[in-house]
Chains A and B, each alone.
Chain A
Amino acid sequence: MATVGLFIPCYMAVARPDDALHARRVLEALGDTVEAIDGLCCGQPAFNSGFREEARRVGRQALRAATDVDTIVVPSGSCTSMIRHYLPGLFERDRRRTADIRSRRFVEFCSYVANHPKRESLELSLPGVVAYHDSCHGRRELGITLTVKDLLGSIGELEVRTLTHEDECCGFGGTFSVKFPEVSREMSACKLADVRQTGARVLVSADLSCLLHLETAAREERLRIETWSMAEVLARALP
Chain B
Amino acid sequence: MSSFRERAAQDIEARGEDPGVLPLMRQLVVDSHAMLSRAPADAAQRAQDARTHAVDNMARLHAEVREKLAERSIGYHRAASAEDAVAIVELLLGSAKRVAKSKSMVAEEVGLTHALRNARIDVLETDIGEYIVDVDGRGPSHITAPALHLNRARIRELLNRTGASLDTDDPEQLSRYVRDVVGDYFTRCDAAITGANAVIASSGRIAIVENEGNVALGVSHPRLHIVITGIEKVVADEAGALSVLEVLAANATAQPLTAFTHFLGEPLPGQERHVVFVDHGRSAIAADRRYRDALRCIRCGACMNTCPVYRAAGGLSFGSPYMGPIGAVISPLLWRDGRADDLPFASSLCGACTEICPVGIPLHRMLLDLRGDAVEDHRAGNRVERAAWAMWARSLGSGRRGRMAERFARIGIKAAGLAPGFGRLVGKRLPRSGARHSLDMLRASAPQAEPKPTTVPPAIPDTGLPDLFRARAGLLGVTIAEQATLQEGDRRLKATAAIASTGSVVLTGEMANRRELLAARRVVVDLDPATIVEYPHQVEPYLGDGDALILTGASRTADIEKKIVRGIHGSEELVVVMGEGEAERRGS
Q: Which residues of chain B are near A49, meaning CB under 8 Å? A: 345, 371, 375, 381, 385, 389, 419-421
> Are B5 and A169 interface neighbours, CB within 8 A?
no
> Are B432 and A15 interface neighbours, CB within 8 A?
yes
> Are B352 and A127 interface neighbours, CB within 8 A?
no
* 14 more A-B residue pairs beyond the given contacts A169-B350, A183-B346, A199-B445, with a C-beta to C-beta distance below 8 A: A10-B404, A15-B432, A49-B421, A58-B392, A86-B368, A159-B445, A165-B26, A176-B345, A178-B421, A178-B423, A183-B5, A186-B12, A209-B425, A232-B434
Does chain B have a CB within 8 A of A95? no
**Contact check: which of B349, B352, B371, B441 meets A167 at CB < 8 Å?**
B352
Question: Could you list which residues of chain B lie within 8 angstroms of chain A, going by C-beta atoms?
Answer: 4-5, 8-9, 12-13, 22, 26, 308-309, 312-313, 345-352, 354-355, 368, 371-376, 380-381, 385-386, 389-390, 392-393, 396-399, 401-405, 407-409, 412, 419-426, 429-430, 432-435, 437, 439, 441-449, 451
Residues of A contacting B: mostly: helix
Q: Evaluate whether A38 and B445 lie within 8 angstroms (CB atoms) in the complex, with A14-B409, A49-B375 already known.
A: no
**Contact check: which of B8, B372, B439 meets A183 at CB < 8 Å?**
B8
> Are A58 and B375 interface neighbours, CB within 8 A?
no
Does chain B have a CB within 8 A of A164? yes
Q: Which residues of chain B are near A39, meaning CB under 8 Å? A: 401-405, 407
The listed residue with most B CB atoms (<10 A of its CB), out of A18, A176, A198, A227, is A176
> Are A16 and B396 interface neighbours, CB within 8 A?
no
> Are A13 and B26 interface neighbours, CB within 8 A?
no
What CA separation (Å) do A178 and B399 show in the bound complex? 28
> Are B437 and A129 interface neighbours, CB within 8 A?
no
> Are B408 and A176 interface neighbours, CB within 8 A?
no
**Contact check: which of A18, A45, A50, A186 meets B435 at CB < 8 Å?**
A18
What CA separation (Å) do A98 and B419 show in the bound complex? 31
> Are B348 and A15 interface neighbours, CB within 8 A?
no
Q: Which residues of chain A are near B346, meaning CB under 8 Å? A: 176, 180, 183
Q: Which residues of chain B are near A186, meaning CB under 8 Å? A: 12, 312-313
Whose C-beta in chain B lies nearest to the C-beta of A62? Answer: B396
Whose C-beta in chain A lies nearest to the C-beta of B452? Answer: A164
> Are A15 and B433 interface neighbours, CB within 8 A?
yes
Shortest Cβ distance from residue B383 to the other chain A in the assembled complex, whole angstroms: 13
What CA separation (Å) do A232 and B573 show in the bound complex? 62
> Are B422 and A45 interface neighbours, CB within 8 A?
yes
What CA separation (Å) do A200 and B8 show in the bound complex? 32
Does chain B have a CB within 8 A of A118? no
**Contact check: which of B354, B371, B447 meets A199 at CB < 8 Å?**
B447
**Contact check: which of A129, A140, A180, A229 meets B443 at CB < 8 Å?**
A129
> Are B348 and A11 interface neighbours, CB within 8 A?
no
What CA separation (Å) do A106 and B282 show in the bound complex? 39
Whose C-beta in chain B lies nearest to the C-beta of A57? Answer: B397
> Are B5 and A48 interface neighbours, CB within 8 A?
no
What CA separation (Å) do A213 and B348 show in the bound complex? 13
Shortest Cβ distance from residue B337 to the other chain A in the assembled complex, whole angstroms: 19
What CA separation (Å) do A207 and B245 show in the bound complex? 39
